[in-house]
Amino acid sequence: MLDIKFVRENPDIVKENIKKKFQDHKLPMVDEVIELDAERRKTQQEADDLKAARNKISKEIGKLMAQGKREEAEVIKKQVAADGEKIEQLNQKEKELSERILKLMMTIPNIIDPSVPIGKDDSENVEVTRYGEPVVPEFDIPYHTEIMEKFKGIDLDAARKVAGNGFYYLMGDIARLHSAVISYARDFMIDRGFTYCVPPFMIRSEVVTGVMSFAEMDAMMYKIEGEDLYLIGTSEHSMIGKFIDTIIQEDQLPYTLTSYSPCFRTEKGAHGLEERGVYRIHQFEKQEMIVVCEPEESPMWFDKLWQNTVDLFRSLDIPVRTLECCSGDLADLKVKSVDVEAWSPRQKKYFEVGSCSNLGDAQARRLKIRVNGKDGKYFAHTLNNTVVAPPRMLIAFLENNLQADGSVRIPEALRPYMGGKTEIR
């Protein structure tokens, strides 16, 4: 969420940013929010003037009563009462105006970084760098669920009966591999200086609206019926929410946290062939990383975060590339974002396995996460990135480590988490 003062003083910059994100339908919101803000400030000033006048004349009542001028005192009392009613009306009007302004401000997109490429959607994202040599083996690689089924490692039919489409049972070595990847990712991030955390898996609505846009919320979140609680779509939501309405001492920054959680997503919309199996599902587990830092340090942390994911995948012999997300592919709160994509030998192309985002002070402004610095208070910057999400990671892992005889090689880094196994058969 932008600062209302910034919008008021820079309407052209805000409008140009909206155009860069191809959201022209939001352009009238800028003028509307400025008009509403002017009316709100005028209402507030009128209320403040009335309060000051009421306080002044209220002091006269006691003097008049002491002088025996009861009738004059009663007239002033009536005036004070009338002013009180007017002040109450003005306060209510100001509250309504503030709510309308807030709703609009939470819809106007954040200002994107100047380095972000301009494009309408993810088809115009820009490849930055490739890491590792993509290999297509001479033998055919089956669809990932077929690989898992050969190990008796997945049961989609039973899951469909129990919970419906978009769920799965993982079994045996495949289930163990899933847990091994999560454990390895946890230790990988701890070794890089991040503090490990297991957060709440449900959050209140004020946290939901603090960490994400309304469009993301509608497309992702499961609501707990009868409760002000939502199931998290990623532990980033809980982890950033941990700092809600806090004042952090500047010398305590940065906070670098890595968190494990199950994740729950509605995943609305139709999905194609490549999104069956465990590619796009309603429940999965993930290792996440978040940073809360000073504004001038967020670009540096942004580069460190996506590099962590690249390094983890390369340590497991999986080729990856980074993509710079274009303006039209950025969620409204994001300043800049890079996707990490893993190589799929079967599809002969890359697919997304993680996303790194710098949100500037947007989440901090919504959640009131402030820093007490030497020059006064200011809003922190927040960043997040996927360490690893095993469902998609398993696809990349199995395809890139599948051998001609049907066995799956276990890279050296993962072997301690697989009981020393060098392969699974």
* Strand pairing class (376-379; 369-373): antiparallel
Question: Is 222 part of a structural domain of the chain?
Answer: yes
Selection from 84-93, 210-219, 318-327 with the highest mean pLDDT: 318-327
Of 211, 181, 193, 169, the residue nearest 342 (C-alpha):
181
* Assigned token pair, 27: 């352009």
Tokens coding 247? 């004042």
Report, as an integer, the average pLDDT of 159-170.
Answer: 93
Give tens-digit pLDDT for 270-300.
Answer: 444 445 688 888 999 999 999 999 999 999 9
- 97 shares a domain with 126: no
- pLDDT at residue number 360: 97
Q: Quick one: 326 and 353 in the same domain?
A: yes
pLDDT greater than 80 at residue 55: no
Query: Are 49 and 78 found together in one domain?
Result: yes
- 94 and 231 in one domain? no
Confidence label for 269 from pLDDT (cuts 50, 70 and 90) = low
Domain end call among 75, 105, 135 = 105
Dist. CA 203–CA 194, nearest whole Å: 23
- Checking if the pLDDT of 173 tops 70, the result is yes
User: What domain range includes position 292?
Assistant: 122-424
Q: Residue 374: pLDDT above 70?
A: yes
Q: Could you give the C-alpha distances from 327 to 22, 34, 261, in angstroms and in order?
A: 8, 24, 29
Mean pLDDT, residues 338-359 taken together: 96
Burial 296-317 (b: 16+ CB within 10 A, else e): eebbebbebbbbbbbebbeebb
Per-residue pLDDT, averaged over 43-52, amounts to 90
Nearest to 263 by CA among 281, 244, 290: 281
Same structural domain, 230 and 90: no
- What CATH number is given to the structural domain containing 239? 3.30.930.10
Residue range 304-328: average pLDDT? 97
How many domains is the chain built from?
A: 2
- What is the predicted pLDDT for the residue at 81? 78
Residues linked to residue 255 through DSSP beta bridges, in sequence order: 292
Per-residue buried b or exposed e for 349-376, using 16+ beta carbons within 10 Å of the residue's own CB: ebbbbbbbbbbbbbbbbbbebbbeeeee
Residue 175, pLDDT > 80, answer yes
**CA 21 to chain CA centroid, nearest Å:** 18
Same domain, yes or no, for 97 and 138? no
Give 116-146 pLDDT, tens digit per residue.
999 999 999 999 999 999 999 999 999 999 9
- 381 pLDDT more than 50: yes
Report pLDDT for 61.
Answer: 66
Do residues 208 and 324 both lie within one domain? yes
What pLDDT was estimated at residue 62?
Answer: 62
In which band, very low, low, confident or very high, does the pLDDT at 3 lie, cut at 50, 70 and 90? very high
The verdict on 342 and 419 lying in the same domain is yes
CA distance 417 to 329: 37
Q: To the nearest whole number, what is the mean pLDDT of the chain?
A: 93
Judge whether 339 and 352 are in contact, CB under 8 Å.
Answer: yes
Q: Does 212 lie in the same domain as 98?
A: no
Q: Is the pLDDT of residue 320 over 70?
A: yes
